Amino acid sequence: MRKQVTLLLSSTLVVMAGGALAAALPAMAEHFSDHPRAAALSRLALTLPSLVTALFAPVAGLVIDRSGRRRVLIASTALYAVAGVTGFFMPSFGWLLVSRAVLGLAVGGVMTATTTLVADYFDEPRRSHVMGLQSATMGFAGVFYLAGGGVLADISWRAPFLLYGLAFLLVPLMRWSLDEPARARGGLDGPITPTREMWGVPALVVSLAFVSMLVFFTIPVQAPFYLRELASVSNSRVGMALGSYTLFGALSSLQYRRTRGVFDAPQTFVVGYALLGSGFWLLSRAHGYGDVVLALVVGGLGMGQLSPNYAVWITSVVPVEFRGRVMGGLVMAFFLGQFFSPIVAEPVVTRLGLAGMYRCGSLVLWGLALAFLVGTTVRKRRLVHARSS
């Protein structure tokens, strides 16, 4: 139990990286308003860690497989705490971005090691349960960080950086409660011949994760500005609106084990993408604060099913000796999608506006749901045909 609790707490560091700062972006841009690209750089402060995380995660995965999961997790958590808190003291955008880049380096190690340890410590069906709890815990923590970051941002845009100091408390807890999984010690014990199935599913899941995050991350990056367009709201109300998304995502993730008891991984993607797409569609048609909250609630229900499904499916087909590297690839896809999200969204926003961008996002998500629905239907028919023949 202590291992599970420690890993769940460690997972919250990932959502803290961006969630604590999201509501402060408009205030940060206003503080540096004399800079010609203040708005763009404020968004970059949120997304730069994603790029660094994406670049480092595959390296972290390789180190994890070769040298051990526990060591990487503890070192990354300590670095995370230092880099996060120093953002409070940075005098300029340049130095602030440096601290955010170091934070991204740490997040890559934390997320890759944490999820790999969950897969190592627990076998199915316990693994699906714990990964559902992991997503739920991250969601509940996101409510705290988004709402807390919004409240602190009303005091000062620098104040949310102090939340990162909570990571210091996890280092001794990790040293006490975690050990290196016996089956992961020593790295590769012998040559394993990769199979088509072994790499086919990870390639599909990694691609899905990248596309999904391109669309999904328009919520924390663009929604604060969208709310400013629709209604004049405080930073704390922005944080509460974003928190509704993560809250209902967390509640949905708590039901992930039950969903997997009825549906397999591809069918779960149908449910998740359909709900998330519906949330984006409602967001595109919002006329006020209440409409935005409703849209985020619906979208959160979908994301709560999607979040654990990526890792559960990918770890179910990959041998333990390659698990760190594959999880590193998945983390890379998630955070590359986060980094490129505002870059891809910018021309869409310029041409169609924020509402139009969310409408396009709904079409992409519904398209993914339809593709999985068709794929699962065809697969079932083939199985029925094979059994009858």
- Residue 186 maps to a domain: no
Q: Is residue 185 part of a domain?
A: no
pLDDT of residue 203: 87
Which pLDDT value is given to residue 275?
95
Tell me the percentage of the chain whose pLDDT exceeds 90: 26
pLDDT at 187: 45
- Domain assignment of residue 288, yes or no: yes
Q: pLDDT at position 195, please?
A: 58
- The verdict on residue 82 lying in a domain is yes
CATH code for the domain in which residue 286 is found: 1.20.1250.20
338 in any annotated domain: yes
Convert the pLDDT of each residue in 207-262 to its tens digit: 999 999 999 888 877 888 888 787 777 767 777 787 788 789 889 988 888 888 88
At residue 33, the pLDDT reads 67
Number of domains in the chain: 1
Residue 164: inside a domain, yes or no? Answer: yes
Domain with 322 in it? 2-178+195-388
**Which residue stretches of the chain have pLDDT < 70?**
31, 33-40, 182-198, 235, 386, 388-389
**Residue 188: inside a domain:** no
Q: Residue 38 has what pLDDT?
A: 64
Q: What is the pLDDT of residue 174?
A: 92
Q: Note the pLDDT of residue 193.
A: 54
225 closest CA partner among 15, 22, 47, 19: 22
Closest C-alpha among 289, 297, 277 to residue 364 = 277
Residue 141 lies in a domain: yes
